[in-house]
């Protein structure tokens, strides 16, 4: 009888252990560990931070960001230009259409890396950066003159044609409708208020406090700015909503999705339904609040008139 009871007792104990697994970590613990991951985005600290988080919570950040982690190197945060002072890679880029939209992929500043790491990249070029041309400010005799409304370290700001000619991958979108010049000038002036150097009461980012992914910035917020939001706001002031929300753009194939998945995997280790619901709710909210370069590229209001991809 004892021989029968021993394996039966062992089976019962095993079942009890499975029904009552180790307790989930506290939200405060997950938040602290996750913040270390977020703070490392685009920096040399990322490989170690991602590896530590994966080891503790059984997540796959190292795998999901393998390509990005392989390219991590020193980089200063974004100043005037997103691509620094590298060689001219876009010598034939046109600067002839007022209100034309410029999109790019690549760039090696820390800010570029953060946006690049979280953005979906569905189409060739991997576009994540954007700007819109104010032709009245463009000077063909001085390509360093700031003439494109975009975002820089302080928040909304300007870049020059020369900055954009140094972009690795780039395309130019031209409005495919009759643009009213006076109306466009007014919209550009509205954004100039935020882009001018003297206005520093703002910050840069997709998210409040730079990379707090759980506080996604709305497109109407006037304090936190990112490049494609500036482009969207200028055209919204004109009267066109250029955020296509195109269904072809797959948010599940993005660094943002991987980060959110890693967070909720750690927070809800024993409930796949809670994880899935939380992830889906976050992505649905982010899709409505964020305007991406690829979403602008798919807008029915533009036609692509230039593209040059120099790197995958």
Return the SS3 of 75.
coil
Q: Is the pLDDT of residue 77 over 90?
A: no
Q: In the block, which residue shows the tokens 């706001």?
A: 233
* Cβ atoms within 10 Å, residue 291: 27
Q: Is the pLDDT of residue 4 over 70?
A: no
* Cβ atoms within 10 Å, residue 105: 26
Q: Is the pLDDT of residue 254 over 70?
A: yes
Identify which of 205, 256, 207, 283 has the alpha carbon closest to the alpha carbon of residue 64: 256
Q: What pLDDT does 167 receive?
A: 92
Residues in the chain: 312
Q: Kindly list the structural domains of the chain, giving each domain's residue range(s) and its CATH number in brackets, ordered by start.
A: 77-249+292-309 (3.90.1720.10)
Q: Is the pLDDT of residue 132 over 90?
A: yes
Q: What pLDDT does 108 receive?
A: 55
Beta partners for residue 172, in sequence order: 102, 306
Average pLDDT over residues 210-238: 91
**Mean pLDDT lowest for which of 4-8, 57-61, 223-227?**
4-8
Which of the four pLDDT bands, split at 50, 70 and 90, describes residue 43?
confident
Q: What pLDDT does 41 receive?
A: 84
Q: Where is pLDDT greater, at 295 or 86? A: 295
What are the backbone dihedrals phi and psi of residue 4, each rounded to the nearest 5 degrees, phi first? -80, -35
Q: Is the pLDDT of residue 270 over 60?
A: yes
Let me know: does 32 contact 56? Beta carbons within 8 Å.
Answer: no
Q: Where is pLDDT greater, at 109 or 180? A: 180
Which of the four pLDDT bands, split at 50, 70 and 90, describes residue 85?
low
Q: What pLDDT does 143 receive?
A: 97
Q: pLDDT exceeding 90 applies to what percent of the chain? A: 70
Q: In the block, which residue shows the tokens 């269904």?
A: 247
Question: Running DSSP on this structure, what letter comes out for residue 207?
Answer: B
Q: Is the pLDDT of residue 211 over 70?
A: no
Q: What pLDDT does 117 receive?
A: 82
Q: What pLDDT does 233 receive?
A: 98
**14 Cβ partners below 8 Å, 6+ apart?**
none
Identify which of 172, 164, 128, 167 has the alpha carbon closest to the alpha carbon of residue 147: 164
Q: What pLDDT does 69 receive?
A: 85
Let me know: does 170 contact 307? Beta carbons within 8 Å.
Answer: yes
Q: What pLDDT does 235 receive?
A: 98
Q: Is the pLDDT of residue 94 over 50?
A: yes
**Mean pLDDT lowest for which of 11-25, 56-70, 158-172, 198-212?**
11-25
Please provide the average confidence, as pLDDT, over all residues in the chain. Answer: 87
**Mean pLDDT lowest for which of 151-155, 163-167, 206-210?**
206-210
Let me know: does 152 contact 158? Beta carbons within 8 Å.
Answer: yes
Average pLDDT over residues 261-281: 96
- For residue 203, give the H/E element and its range: strand 203-204
Q: Is the pLDDT of residue 10 over 60?
A: no
Which of the four pLDDT bands, split at 50, 70 and 90, describes residue 72?
low
Four-residue CA torsion sign, 51, 54, 60, 65: negative
Q: Is the pLDDT of residue 252 over 60?
A: yes
Which of the four pLDDT bands, split at 50, 70 and 90, describes residue 42?
confident
- For residue 173, give the H/E element and its range: strand 169-175
């Amino acid at each position: 009888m004892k021989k029968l009871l021993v394996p039966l007792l062992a089976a019962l104990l095993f079942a009890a252990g499975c029904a009552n697994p180790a307790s989930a970590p506290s939200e405060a613990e997950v938040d602290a560990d996750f913040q270390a991951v977020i703070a490392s985005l685009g920096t040399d600290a990322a490989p170690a931070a991602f590896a530590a988080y994966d080891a503790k919570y059984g997540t796959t950040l190292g795998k999901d960001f393998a390509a990005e982690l392989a390219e991590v190197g020193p980089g200063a945060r974004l100043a005037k230009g997103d691509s620094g002072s590298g060689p001219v890679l876009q010598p034939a880029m046109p600067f002839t259409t007022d209100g034309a939209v410029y999109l790019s992929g690549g760039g090696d500043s820390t800010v570029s890396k953060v946006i690049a790491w979280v953005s979906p990249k569905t189409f060739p070029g991997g576009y994540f950066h954007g700007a819109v041309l104010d032709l009245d400010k463009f000077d063909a005799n001085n390509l360093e003159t700031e003439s494109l409304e975009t975002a820089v370290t302080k928040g909304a700001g300007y870049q020059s044609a020369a900055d954009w000619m140094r972009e690795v991958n780039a395309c130019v979108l031209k409005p495919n409708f009759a643009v009213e010049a006076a109306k466009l000038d007014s919209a550009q002036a509205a954004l100039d208020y935020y882009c001018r150097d003297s206005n520093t009461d703002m910050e840069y980012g997709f998210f409040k406090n730079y990379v707090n992914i759980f506080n996604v910035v709305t497109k109407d917020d006037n304090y936190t700015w990112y490049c494609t939001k500036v482009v969207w706001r200028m055209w919204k002031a004109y009267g066109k909503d250029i955020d296509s929300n195109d269904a072809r753009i797959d948010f599940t194939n993005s660094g943002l999705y991987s980060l959110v998945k890693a967070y909720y995997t750690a927070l809800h280790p024993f409930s796949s339904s809670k994880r899935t619901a939380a992830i889906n709710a976050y992505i649905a909210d982010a899709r409505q609040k964020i305007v991406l370069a690829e979403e602008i590229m798919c807008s029915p209001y533009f036609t692509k008139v230039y593209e040059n991809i120099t790197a995958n």
